[in-house]
């Protein structure tokens, strides 16, 4: 009987040794906790599988499978996939608003930390580029920034990944909080744990130079404060052209995600007054929207896809054809992939194009329930 007990003990020890040997070596865990306009904790796990196809750890008391990394916007070099995903993601708690920020048309920002927030730095994107503000309180200028590099304890690769998925959802601000959220427990103990906490403020208002104001959002609901309204500015297109040899030529003048239009619609402008009204609709209630270009015999067409409950949506025109005085547009609508990182704020994407010649109406073939409107 004693020999059997010893044999059993030896087998048990061997199994335990094998289990511990299958764990990843050089285990490192990096976390970023997002609050405000996006509420989730993103965790990257780094380590060596030592030739195995998989391993496992416990994060927050939950056992997860670690395998080679998958293709994903948030994947970083050296990190492992977690349960088949690039990162481990769980919700964060709701926090009171930590930042109010406005920007005037000259590029001057007015920043105000709120509810006792201790803010280390503020970054801003208009949807086209990133800027780091020269301070966290009062009137400050922004300087061109390489995305979110330098934010908290994020590595450059992690900062680049988060910046890349947030930038198209601008205009928004990212405040680096000095008080990181409590770390998730990890078993076995990692050799390195890095933590960063970010507060996301979507729909940053642009005002006329010399005016000030505040923007208040309701975190975790996607519903803008009724006193300030909703999205208030958009981003400018690059003047690209399309339809060479496949229909009418056109130029994309501008596009954005924060129109005043809440329902799908298409607008045609053939006069200066109509063009001004079109730009006012596109840029919402922005105090100083850009001026529309001179028509010079061209027709402007704005396509508005209506209100969406998060960031990550956009619309582009891919083809334009004519039938008499009517333009027929083919559009491509981009929706956020399932599980992608999106701001929780109402958006209303749009695009404006210019078509040579004069047309009085327009319609969209591949967007159901989008009414044409004759001007």
How far apart are the C-alpha atoms of 234 and 351, rounded to whole Å?
A: 10
Q: Are residues 170 and 55 in the same domain?
A: yes
336 has pLDDT over 70: yes
Whether residue 125 lies inside any domain: the answer is: yes
Angstrom CA distances, 341 to 97, 200, 239, stand at: 20, 12, 28
Q: Are residues 100 and 245 in the same domain?
A: no
Whether residue 372 lies inside any domain: the answer is: no
Q: Are residues 127 and 264 in the same domain?
A: no
C-alpha atoms less than 13 angstroms from C-alpha of 230 in its C-beta half-sphere: 26
218 has pLDDT over 70: no
Q: With a threshold of 0.95, does the pTM exceed it?
A: no
Q: Are residues 271 and 359 in the same domain?
A: yes
Angstrom CA distances, 277 to 149, 252, 273, 361, stand at: 39, 18, 6, 16
**Host domain of residue 193:** 25-221
Residues in the chain: 375
Q: Are residues 137 and 33 in the same domain?
A: yes
Whether residue 277 lies inside any domain: the answer is: yes
Q: Are residues 114 and 65 in the same domain?
A: yes
Whether residue 260 lies inside any domain: the answer is: yes
Q: Are residues 306 and 347 in the same domain?
A: yes
Tokens (6 digits) for 75: 């994947």
Q: Are residues 258 and 209 in the same domain?
A: no
pLDDT of residue 230: 27
Whether residue 306 lies inside any domain: the answer is: yes
Q: What is the DSSP string of 333-366?
A: EE-PPTT----SB-BB-EEEEEEES--SEEEESS
CB of 124 within 8 A of CB of 101? yes
Tally of domains in the chain: 2
Question: How does pLDDT run across 338-349, given as a tens digit for each residue?
Answer: 666 777 667 788
Using DSSP's 3-state secondary structure scheme, residue 327 falls into: strand
Show which of 174, 197, 221 is a domain's final residue. Answer: 221
Whether residue 8 lies inside any domain: the answer is: no
Whether residue 104 lies inside any domain: the answer is: yes
Q: Are residues 253 and 106 in the same domain?
A: no
Q: Are residues 130 and 256 in the same domain?
A: no
Question: How does pLDDT run across 165-201, given as a tens digit for each residue?
Answer: 999 888 899 999 998 778 889 999 999 999 999 999 9
Question: How does pLDDT run across 312-330, given as a tens digit for each residue?
Answer: 788 889 899 999 999 999 8
Question: How does pLDDT run across 18-77, given as a tens digit for each residue?
Answer: 344 456 899 999 999 999 988 899 999 999 999 899 999 999 999 999 999 999 999 999
Q: Are residues 165 and 63 in the same domain?
A: yes
How far apart are the C-alpha atoms of 218 and 344, rounded to whole Å?
A: 9
Exposed e or buried b per residue across 88-107, where buried means at least 16 C-beta atoms within 10 angstroms of its C-beta: bbeebeebebbbbbbbbbee
Q: Where does residue 285 fall: left (phi above 0), alpha (psi -120 to 50 degrees), or beta otherwise?
A: alpha
Q: Are residues 136 and 34 in the same domain?
A: yes
Whether residue 10 lies inside any domain: the answer is: no
């Amino acid at each position: 009987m004693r020999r059997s007990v010893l044999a059993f003990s030896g087998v048990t020890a061997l199994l335990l040794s094998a289990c511990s040997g299958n764990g990843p070596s050089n285990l490192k865990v990096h976390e970023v906790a997002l609050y405000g306009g996006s509420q989730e904790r993103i965790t990257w796990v780094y380590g060596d599988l030592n030739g195995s196809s998989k391993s496992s750890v416990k994060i927050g008391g939950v056992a997860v499978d670690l395998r080679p990394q998958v293709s994903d916007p948030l994947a970083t070099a050296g990190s492992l996939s977690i349960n088949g995903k690039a990162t481990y993601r769980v919700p964060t708690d709701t926090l009171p608003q930590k930042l109010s920020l406005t920007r005037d048309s000259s590029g001057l920002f007015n920043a105000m930390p709120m509810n006792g927030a201790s803010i280390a730095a503020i970054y801003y994107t208009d949807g086209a580029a990133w800027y780091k503000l020269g301070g966290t309180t009062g009137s400050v200028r922004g300087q061109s920034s390489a995305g979110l590099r330098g934010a908290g304890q994020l590595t450059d690769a992690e900062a680049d990944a988060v910046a890349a998925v947030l930038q198209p959802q601008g205009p928004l601000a990212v405040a680096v909080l000095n008080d990181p959220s409590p770390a998730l427990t990890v078993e076995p103990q990692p050799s390195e744990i890095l933590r960063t906490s970010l507060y996301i403020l979507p729909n940053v208002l642009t005002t006329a130079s010399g005016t000030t104001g505040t923007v208040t959002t309701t975190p975790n609901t996607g519903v803008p404060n009724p006193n300030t309204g909703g999205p208030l500015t958009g981003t400018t297109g690059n003047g690209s052209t399309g339809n060479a040899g496949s229909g009418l030529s056109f130029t994309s003048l501008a596009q954005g995600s924060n129109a005043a239009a809440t329902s799908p619609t298409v607008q045609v402008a053939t006069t200066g007054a109509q063009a001004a009204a079109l730009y006012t609709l596109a840029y919402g209630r922005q105090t100083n929207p850009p001026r529309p270009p001179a028509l010079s015999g061209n027709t402007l067409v704005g396509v508005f896809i209506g209100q969406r409950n998060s960031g990550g949506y956009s619309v582009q025109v891919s083809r334009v054809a004519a039938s008499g005085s009517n333009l027929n547009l083919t559009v491509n609508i981009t929706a956020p992939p399932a599980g992608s990182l999106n701001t929780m704020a109402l958006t209303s994407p749009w695009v404006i194009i210019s078509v040579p010649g004069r047309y009085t109406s327009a319609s969209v073939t591949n967007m159901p329930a989008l009414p044409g409107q004759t001007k």
